[in-house]
Amino acid sequence: MRTDLCDLLGIDHPIVGFSPSEHVVAAISRAGGLGVLGAVRFNDAAELDTVLTWLDRETGGRPYGVDVVMPSTVPTEGLPEDLNAMVPSGHHEFVERTLLRLGVPPLSAAQDRPGVLGWLHSVARAHVEVALNHPIRLIANALGPPPPDVISQAHDRGVLVAALAGRADHARSHVRSGVDIVVAQGYEAGGHTGEIAGMVLVPEVVDAVHVPVLAAGGIGSGRQIAAALALGARGVWMGSLWLGTTEYQSGHALREALLRATSSDTVRSRIYSGKPARLLRNRWTDAWSAQGAPAVLPMPLQNLLVSAAHDRLMASGDPTVVPMPVGQIVGRMNEVRPVAAVLSDLVTEADETLGRLHKLL
Amino acid sequence: MRTDLCDLLGIDHPIVGFSPSEHVVAAISRAGGLGVLGAVRFNDAAELDTVLTWLDRETGGRPYGVDVVMPSTVPTEGLPEDLNAMVPSGHHEFVERTLLRLGVPPLSAAQDRPGVLGWLHSVARAHVEVALNHPIRLIANALGPPPPDVISQAHDRGVLVAALAGRADHARSHVRSGVDIVVAQGYEAGGHTGEIAGMVLVPEVVDAVHVPVLAAGGIGSGRQIAAALALGARGVWMGSLWLGTTEYQSGHALREALLRATSSDTVRSRIYSGKPARLLRNRWTDAWSAQGAPAVLPMPLQNLLVSAAHDRLMASGDPTVVPMPVGQIVGRMNEVRPVAAVLSDLVTEADETLGRLHKLL
């Protein structure tokens, strides 16, 4: 299976794989897809720089990309201390009370670290600056088109720009802003997601724009890749599936939670970032939808509020509370395997499906 | 494009079309698909009998089916008067107040008719009894498997039984109950629907059961049919699309509302029947999600509560209030055309897509 996306990105298979793990990203690119590193977790741009230098080496000259989180309208900005002061004390109390009730211990001094700042526009800009000094093929933005000067800088260096869209009108506006590839992210996807399911969204976006479209959301098998291509996508964007690979070095609790979850065990909620995102449903997400839970704060305050709690939840080792964006495809993640084996199976099944479909003619 | 569903049902194209309109149903069957008549609107089984007699003639010997609404657990049953007495007066007041505020006039004496009783188990049973005296090929149930004796009666007469499922475990249980065909109905679908989008649900259901699976939800083009086949479905079940055909003799208001709506203009709500169903979003559905709206009642009380209001809303001629179950594919319904033309385009585009996909190998 080859589409023109393969030529555009210099890859063997029209599979773009997003991961916050550089180990997963390197393995995807080495296996003939395009690995895209999620940069939001890097508070310090120098740390991102080090990881990208590692990727330059470990991808062995294969193309890769970087994903940042830049809302198209710049949200509240400021120093972490000042922003923290904007979080109502009742919200902090709710988080503390909930962690106590869920039996989640505090972090040890060694585990404690500052909250995630990658949601801040200034930090995302620093990510872009660092990334553009590496031989990346693609810069992607999870929340629509990056600012015009970022797009210009990328294009000046021959770097393609991709942006996620959950509606056809958004996709149109992304392309007007200069975006080269639209990722049509359906309701079923993990992380930030809209209301329209991929089956409807992908052909709508394909018909709305003249640039290549990647289908995102709910894709974890070759049959689903073939379906995405049938809908007119030139390839797929996959995120959740890699959480279940050997290279994604998660703790035992997350792995356990992912293996146990069915496709019904996710929830679309604003509690992670302030914008609707699909998460693993568990005792932590349930607490936020129970009566008496406070209203979710706008971006970036909500993530500042919960990011220390996320560290505690993750460190607790309890599979019933891990905070994790994941799509409905989590129901298929029932075995931990190396990225190369997963990718090879995807390609084989997609090819078999295209062959099977032809026999129906 | 042919699958083994064509042989099973005796049809030319693996397209099953649901409609409450016998005119649409006859046209679908005549065009080589399987038309399935929604029976819930018939309060009087004799009236259904007359319409099926008409269908026996108008389908010209082509197969067709009937769809009933039978929850697997029998809900509250009783005479309309007794059931009406179970509806809290505050609910009636809310409905009256809302209709007044939306500018919806009362019905004239000529327009007034009793509420829809098809949601009652006893009425649905009468529908089945009538239907089985006609040469139908399929009996479908919108809410899981019909009771065992209904399945036995159908099988005794060589009639296949289909049931909708929104989860793989439900599909498994349907098949254990004797269902011959599972309709995997995704989140994007109109009417009763679950949380899992088709891209994830269809292959899950296909892998969970050994009977043929139809993909339902979000399908309104040949590309989407090809995608459904890629996911492993043997055919598609389509409902919404036919609302925009010449044969669906709706009033001006509904037609206008359907033509205007985008894929973002639906909402999944329990206000129609008491169970989650996707509806056209408008001032009526918004009123039910506004602050101060009463809690939705269980089936069948909610539909008894709103069915007279539905008649008033529909008769008002106002496109901004029409009560109508419809899927996210409504965004594609931008032109009114005859069923035969719609179906022929679906088949042509599906065939073209299968051909295009093969070239990617």
Q: Which tens digit of pLDDT belongs to each residue from A287-342? A: 999 999 999 999 888 988 998 899 999 999 999 999 999 999 999 999 999 999 99
Residues A34, A12: Cα–Cα separation, whole Å: 9
* Contact criterion met (CB below 8 Å) for B234 and B14: yes
Instruction: Sort out which chain B residues have CB atoms less than 8 A from A219's CB and list them.
Output: 199
| Residues A263, B353: C-beta atoms closer than 8 Å | no
Query: Is the CB of A282 inside 8 Å of chain B's CB atoms?
Result: no
Nearest Cα residue to B180 out of B149, B147, B217, B209: B209
Q: How buried is B93 (Cβ within 10 angstroms: 0-12 exposed, 13-18 middle, 19+ buried)?
A: exposed
Q: What DSSP string describes A68-131?
A: E---SS------HHHHHHTS-HHHHHHHHHHHHHTT-PPPPTTT--PPP-TTSHHHHHHHHHHH
Is the CB of B230 less than 8 angstroms away from the CB of A353?
yes
Contact A242, A21 (CB under 8 A): yes
Provide the chain A residues 186-225 that lie in CB contact (below 8 A) with chain B: 186-188, 195-201, 203-204, 217-219, 221, 223-224
A1-76+120-244+338-361: CATH topology is: TIM Barrel (3.20.20)
CA dist., res. A127 & res. A106, Å (int): 30
Mean pLDDT of B11-38: 98
What is the distance in angstroms between the Cα of B329 and the nearest Cα belonging to chain A? 6
> Of B195, B218, B353, which is closest to A264 when you measure between CB atoms?
B195
Would you call A192 helix, strand, or coil by DSSP?
strand
Q: What is the pLDDT of residues A76-92, one digit of tens each?
A: 666 777 788 889 999 99
Nearest to A312 by CA among A143, A32, A144, A113: A113
**Contacts of the segment B159-167: beta carbons below 8 A, 24+ positions apart:** B159/B132, B160/B8, B160/B9, B162/B65, B162/B138, B162/B214, B164/B140, B164/B192, B164/B216, B165/B205, B166/B193, B166/B194, B166/B195, B166/B196, B166/B201, B167/A263, B167/A264, B167/B194, B167/B196, B167/B201
pLDDT at residue A82 in the model:
78
Report how far residue A356's alpha carbon sits from residue A274's, in angstroms, rounded to the nearest whole number: 43
Q: Cβ of B224 and A231 within 8 Å? A: yes
Per CB-CB distance under 8 Å, the chain B contacts of A333 are none
pLDDT in tens, A163-199: 999 999 999 999 999 999 999 999 999 999 999 999 9
CA distance B316 to B213: 40
User: Which of B6, B200, B236 to mutate to probe the A interface, most A CBs <10 Å?
Assistant: B200
Asked whether the beta carbons of residue B332 and residue A196 sit closer than 8 angstroms, the reply is no
Residue contacts between A and B (CB atoms, under 8 Å): 144
H and E: helices and strands count for chain B: 14, 11
Chain A residues within an 8 Å CB radius of B223: 203, 230-232
Whether residues B329 and A357 touch (CB distance < 8 A) is answered with: no
- Of A163, A139, A156, the closest CA to residue A36 belongs to A139
Are B357 and A361 a contacting pair at CB < 8 A?
no
pLDDT tens-place string over residues B68-105: 988 666 666 667 777 888 899 999 999 999 999 999 99
Q: Is B116 exposed, middle or buried (0-12, 13-18, 19+ CB in 10 A)?
A: buried
**Residue of B168, B188, B357 with shortest CB distance to A226:** B357
Q: Which residues of B touch A230 (CB under 8 A)?
A: 223-224, 226-227, 229-230, 353, 357
Which residues from chain A sit within 8 angstroms of residue B234, using beta carbons? none
CATH number of B8-358: 3.20.20.70
Closest to B13 (Cα-Cα) out of B178, B326, B236:
B236
Give contacts of B168 with chain A, Cβ < 8 Å: 263, 331
Per-residue pLDDT averaged across A87-103, rounded? 94
Cβ-nearest to A203 among B186, B223, B264: B223
CB contact under 8 A, B199 and A196: no
* pLDDT above 90 for B112: no
Q: Where are the domains of chain A?
A: 1-76+120-244+338-361, 78-116+248-336
- Å from A74 to nearest chain B CA? 25
Mean pLDDT value across residues B232-251: 95
ipTM of the complex, rounded to two decimals:
0.95
Q: Please compute Rg for chain A using Cα positions.
A: 20
Token pair 């869209």 in the structure block, residue: A165
CB A215 within 8 A of CB A184: yes
* pLDDT winner (highest mean) among A94-98, B83-87, B144-148: A94-98
For residue B264, the chain A residue with the least C-alpha distance is A196
